[in-house]
Amino acid sequence: DYFEDIFITYKDSNGNWVNPEPLGNNINTEGHDACIALSADGQKLFIFKNTLQDIGVIYMSRLDGKEWSEPELMKGGVESPAWEGSVSMSNDERTIYFSSEREGGFGGKDIYKATLQDDGTWGDVQNLGIEINTEYDDDAPFIHPSGLFLVFSSKGHNSMGGYDIFRSDLKDSAWGEPFNVGYPINTPGDDIYYVLAADGQRGYYASGKQGGYGKQDIYLLEPGILGTKIVMVQVKGQVTIDDKPVKAQIKVQYKDSTVQGIYRANSATGKYLINLPADKYYIMTFIIDDNAPQVRVVNTMGIDSFFETAIDVQFYTPEYLAKLKAKKDSLELISRAKDSLVIKTTAPLTLNELKDQYGDASLDGLTFTVQIGAYNLPQNFDYARVLKLGKVKKQKLDDNITRFTMGEFKTLNEAYAYKSKVVDAGISDAFVTAIYKGKRYLLKDLAENNFFKR
């Protein structure tokens, strides 16, 4: 057998995975390096290392711009002379769930939790107890961003053979009896390392089932979780200064000012992603150097399903605002005739001209989507007829109207082709909208402002 290295792959414009590439020399070594988890916002990578000196330890790397930092050993109670090989971090990044063969467990690998201490180490280590752990191996915990259920693999409980995938729901601050998610996910072989998208629509796991390419293959499951309704809000957006991405700290507090979590926007892209459980009132404070903080409010009281919402935050320096004003005041002069000014103008395009001239054009930061509905009471919209075409995204904007959209396309022609399928499926008033650098635009805005000629 060979040592493992960590690889990364991306989806192309057609939604296909491209060839994987090694993640980098500061991540991969001559020893055994395996990716075992990502934080909910994708900014932290957890790595299992197995060397001659360590039989199994957990490291963490942070995404700094576009580069992953040198992995650091997770210090405190997570570290022991025994094997530790799986981990999952809670959404607020204050609790981790990990597996260990340390003494004092119920047998084999057990699942533990630890909490973040003031000094940055992990302490207050607790075995999850006999409800979760058995005399056999219990491994690969995954805590959903909502914090309401835990998925893990076990050779015990009522496994049908090898590792099976189980789920336990949190009830009155205690983990309920795990249940086997069943066939065809579980098989007589090893089925393990289950992770789930925040909205529950996609799950990924590894299995040695028959029909694969050898040993353990990665499988996709849609929908990703059965029997559980995901109720939470996912907030994502971009933070900029002078219209350029900037690294930012985002402090999320409850209404009583208690801190829920501290998050960060990526320094290279300015993008961030935060999952907020339901039935709470949140205050988000965006902080960057040498600027007054900006505050946004997210109210998740009364929601009954998974929602996505976009919050972009723009900071401006006085110097940049002065330049914008000067630019606005200085129109391009073509000629000066006596006391009159001749100003260069361009006639706006019609929607048909926009499609004819720029239907196949693409720009960085510009995507198109198909809107299928907009409702003050989103529960009144029945979109079951179009689910066969793909995922429906729900987003509540500042006007308190929830918009339902489908697809994400790089060109206008691709979006119109998809819109035709939506109309054929029964939503005759569907239309195409544009998203540029996180902000929503109607197509008439692009046409009237000659967007592609900028």
- Sorted by sequence, the CB contacts under 8 Å of residue 421 that are 6+ apart come out as 389
pLDDT of 226 over the 70 cut: no
pLDDT of 454 over the 60 cut: no
Q: What is the pLDDT of residues 237-256, one digit of tens each?
A: 999 999 999 999 999 999 89
Q: What is the pLDDT of residues 343-363, one digit of tens each?
A: 333 456 677 778 888 888 888
pLDDT value of position 320: 87
Run of H or E residues at 193: strand 191-196
pLDDT value of position 426: 86
pLDDT value of position 322: 85
Looking up tokens 């109720």, which residue turns up? 231
- Contact present, 250 and 272 (Cβ < 8 Å): yes
Classify 56 in phi/psi space as left (phi over 0), alpha (psi -120 to 50) or beta: left
Q: Which two tokens stand for residue 259?
A: 């801190």
Strand partners, 207: 191, 217
pLDDT of 291 over the 80 cut: yes
DSSP assignment, residue 104? T
What single-letter amino acid sits at 4? E
Query: Looking at 356-438, which runs of residues are DSSP E strands?
Result: 366-375, 392-396, 402-409, 431-436
Q: Find how far residue 305's CA is from the centre of its chain.
A: 17
Q: How close are the terminal C-alpha atoms of the chain, in Å?
A: 56
pLDDT of 328 over the 50 cut: yes
Q: State mean pLDDT over 206-222.
A: 91
Average pLDDT of every residue of the chain: 88
User: In the structure, what pLDDT confidence band is assigned to residue 439 with cuts at 50, 70 and 90?
Assistant: confident
Q: Which two tokens stand for residue 182?
A: 């069943």
pLDDT of 210 over the 80 cut: yes
Q: What is the pLDDT of residues 178-202, one digit of tens each?
A: 999 998 899 999 999 999 999 999 9
pLDDT of 265 over the 70 cut: yes
Q: What is the pLDDT of residues 392-424, one digit of tens each?
A: 998 887 777 889 999 999 999 999 999 999 998
pLDDT value of position 429: 86
Q: What is the pLDDT of residues 12-37, one digit of tens each?
A: 888 889 999 999 888 998 888 999 99
Does 160 or 344 have the greater pLDDT score? 160
DSSP assignment, residue 443? H
Q: What percent of the chain has pLDDT over 70?
A: 93
Q: At what angle do helices 351-358 and 412-424 cross, to 10 degrees?
A: 120
Domains and CATH numbers, the chain: 7-221 (2.120.10.30), 232-315 (2.60.40.10), 342-453 (3.30.70.1070)
| CA dist list (Å): 303 to 258, 276, 280, 308, 396 | 22, 11, 10, 12, 11
* Weakest mean pLDDT among 99-113, 215-229, 327-341, 410-424: 327-341
Q: Which alpha helices (H) appear in 277-410, and where do they start and end?
A: 318-329, 351-358
